[in-house]
Amino acid sequence: MNLVNERNTLIEAIRKQKGFEYFLLPKPYNILCRAAQDGPVILLNSHEEGCDGIIILNSTAEPVHVSFPDVTVELLRAQRTTLKNIHEHRIRGESSPTRLPAKREDWISTEEQMKNMLNWLWNCVVGPIYNVLASHGIHSGRLWWLPTGAFAALPLHACAPIEQFINSYTATLSSLVEAYSKKPSKSAVKLGVVGVTHTGPGREQWLPGVKEEVDNICAAVAQADCLQDKQATAEAVKLQLENCSWVHLACHGTQDAAKPTRSRLLLYGENLELDTILRMPLSNAEVVFLAACQTAMGDSYLVNESMHLVGGLIAAGFRAAIGTLWSMNDEDGPLVAKFFYSHLFRDGRQPQASDTAEALDLAVRELKKNVSYERWVPFIHMGI
C-alpha cells in the first residue's frame, strides 16, 4: 500500500511541472485540437463495420464526422495490394529496394493501375472530405491527413484532380501539437547533407544520381555541410544529426516491419538504425529530408502509430520531414532537391520548418510536368 501511495504522490508531483500536466493521461480534446491551428486535420478510421473520417476544422470548432458508405476494409486492402504490385513490378525482382533508373516503357500498365486507384480514392474518400471542407468555406491552404488502419500508406495527397490544398501527414495529433509547441530556432539554418552513392565494399548498392543531388543542394545553400561516401559513417552522420537543424539524407533506407525501430539508413560500410536515432539528444532538430527508398511506407497492417523512418524522425524531435512512400527514381532526387532548396533559400532567405510543405509541393509540381504518376506520387511531407 505504501508503494501505491508513493507512486501516486510522485505522479502528482510530476503533473505539477510545466508541460507534464497530462503525464500518464490521455490529452483532452481542447489540447489535441491545436493540431489544426494552421489548417484542417483529417483522421481516417477503418473498421470491419464501416469506415469514416473525422475533420478537425480548426482549434476552436467542433469536429465534423464524414461517412464513407462505399469504402470497406477489404476495398482499402485491395488498393494497398495494387500499390504493392506496382512497386514489385518496378523493382522487377531485385534483391533489395533501390532508387531506380528511369524505364518509361515498363510503366504503361502500372500507370493505368495507379490512375484507377487514385480515382477510387478521390471518389470514395478524398472528394467527400473536400466537399465538407467547401461547405465550411475552406477551399485552399494546408491540410493534414492522419490515416489509421487500412488507410495507412495510401497516397491520399495525390488524388485531387485540381490542386487546391498543400497536403501533409501526421502520425498522431499529439506529435503535431508538440511540433507547434517547440519554438523554432532563431539562428540561421545549419544544413547538413549526407550523400551515399555506394554503400561500400561488400554491400555494392549504387545511387549514381546522388552526386548531382548533393551538387544541386550546395548550389542553393552555400553553407551546407556535406558528408559524401566514405565520410558518411554512422558516427559522422550522428554528429550531423545532433549539430545541424536541417538534414538532407540521400542514401538507401530500409524498413523492418517486424521491428520498426530497427528500420535503418544504409550508410558507407554500416547502418544507422532508427532506434539509435530515437535515443539521441536532437535539441536542434527542425527539418529532415529523406531522399531514400521506402522511408515512409509503414507495414501494410500496422495500426495507428505505425513506426517508419519519416514518422520515427518526427518522434525523435524533427518538426517537419520529407520522405517517399516507395523507391524514387534515381534521376528524380536531383530535380526535386534543386527546386525544393532553391525555393526555400531564394534571395538569401532563412526558411522555417513550416515553409517546407509549400516548397515540396512546388518541387513535385515541376517533377509532374514530365514524368509518370509512379515517379511523383511517392513524395510526402509530414509535420508542421
Q: Say what the pLDDT of residue 304 is.
A: 32
**What own/partner pairs with CB < 8 Å and gap ≥ 24 does 280-284 have?**
280/238, 280/241, 280/242, 280/316, 281/242, 282/241, 282/242, 282/316, 282/317, 282/318, 283/317, 284/185, 284/190, 284/242, 284/243, 284/244, 284/245
| Confidence label for 96 from pLDDT (cuts 50, 70 and 90) | very low
Distances (CA, A) of 360 to 243, 318, 382: 24, 17, 11
The residues spanned by each domain of the chain are 30-176, 180-383
Of 147 and 109, the one with more pLDDT: 147
Q: Say what the pLDDT of residue 204 is.
A: 67
Q: Say what the pLDDT of residue 218 is.
A: 94
What is the per-residue pLDDT across 287-304, written as a single tens digit (0 to 9) for each? Answer: 999 987 555 555 443 333
30-176: which CATH number, 3.40.1350, 3.40.50, 3.30.420, 1.10.10?
3.30.420
Paired sense of beta strands 264-266 and 225-228, if any: unpaired
State yes or no: pLDDT of 151 exceeds 60: yes
Average pLDDT of every residue of the chain: 88
State yes or no: pLDDT of 194 exceeds 70: yes
- Across 66-93, b (16+ Cβ under 10 Å) vs e yields bebeebbbebbeebbebbeebbeebeee
Alpha carbon distance 187, 179 (integer Å): 18
Q: Say what the pLDDT of residue 300 is.
A: 42
Question: To the nearest 10°, the Cα dihedral for 320, 326, 331, 335?
Answer: -30
Alpha carbon distance 359, 346 (integer Å): 11
Domain 180-383 indexed as CATH 3.40.50.1460: yes
Alpha carbon distance 305, 152 (integer Å): 10
Q: Say what the pLDDT of residue 99 is.
A: 52
Alpha carbon distance 25, 23 (integer Å): 5
List the grid coordinates of 8: 501516486
Alpha carbon distance 384, 142 (integer Å): 10
Residue type, 348: G
Of 334 and 94, the one with more pLDDT: 334
What are the phi and psi torsion angles at 146 (to 5°)?
A: -125, 80
Q: Say what the pLDDT of residue 276 is.
A: 97
Residue from 332, 327, 297 nearest 312 by CA:
297
Cβ atoms of 46 and 148 closer than 8 Å: yes
| Confidence label for 172 from pLDDT (cuts 50, 70 and 90) | very high
| Confidence label for 158 from pLDDT (cuts 50, 70 and 90) | very high
Q: Say what the pLDDT of residue 97 is.
A: 40
DSSP helix/strand/coil, 53: strand
Of 55 and 110, the one with more pLDDT: 55
Alpha carbon distance 145, 27 (integer Å): 20
Across residues 114-137, what is the average pLDDT? 97
Cβ atoms of 327 and 100 closer than 8 Å: yes
Cβ atoms of 327 and 91 closer than 8 Å: yes
Whether the domain at 30-176 and the domain at 180-383 fall into the same CATH topology: no
Residue from 285, 290, 267 nearest 213 by CA:
290
Across residues 206-225, what is the average pLDDT? 92
| Confidence label for 258 from pLDDT (cuts 50, 70 and 90) | confident
Q: Say what the pLDDT of residue 318 is.
A: 97
User: 78-92, 100-114, 267-281: which range is least confident on average?
Assistant: 100-114
Q: Say what the pLDDT of residue 93 is.
A: 36
Q: Say what the pLDDT of residue 293 is.
A: 58
H, E, C per residue of 59-94? CCCCCEEEECCCCCHHHHHHHHHHHHHHHHHHHCCC
Q: Say what the pLDDT of residue 307 is.
A: 46
Alpha carbon distance 312, 310 (integer Å): 5
Q: Say what the pLDDT of residue 101 is.
A: 46
